[in-house]
Amino acid sequence: LRIEIAEAWDSLLLAQLIRGSVLITQSILRKYIILPSLIIVKNIARMLLFQFPEWSEDLTDWNREMHVKCTYNGVQLSETEFPKNWLTDGIQIKILFPFCLKPWHRFKLQPSHKDPMKKKKGQKNDFCFLTVWGMETELPFDSPRKRR
């Protein structure tokens, strides 16, 4: 299915220009409009329910999210550098540490003695790719993943 979707994009005239522009727009909308709006709504709702707001925790998690430009094949470049000929060859946007709005943050009462560098069994890398619909996928042109 992934290959069929990629081939469909390749077959259309000006498709990479349109797709690249839509991906850049989705990236900006997600990072600077949608996610901050969700954080504001969540914390106002918490205040209305007489709970402590979690501005700093949410903003810290939001600031960790990075949108990295990649080549059409998914080779990572940087946050600011675009691939050469991206308007004709295509582009991917990889989201490192994707933000997930939590209804509340758990506070650690005692320090954990686990090694933070070790991954739990079955844990995936903390990244995803952005689709033209603004959704997250594990691999370029894959179907959207389920939210945590």
Per-domain boundaries in the chain: 1-137
Could you tell me if 141 and 2 are in contact, meaning their C-beta atoms sit under 8 angstroms apart?
A: yes
Cβ neighbours around 10 below 10 Å, total: 11
Higher pLDDT, 40 or 102: 40
Percent over 90 (pLDDT), the chain: 44
107 — pLDDT class (breaks 50, 70, 90)? low
pLDDT above 90: residue 48: yes
Which residues touch 128 (CB under 8 Å, ≥6 apart)?
Answer: 94, 95, 98, 136, 137, 138, 145
145 — pLDDT class (breaks 50, 70, 90)? confident
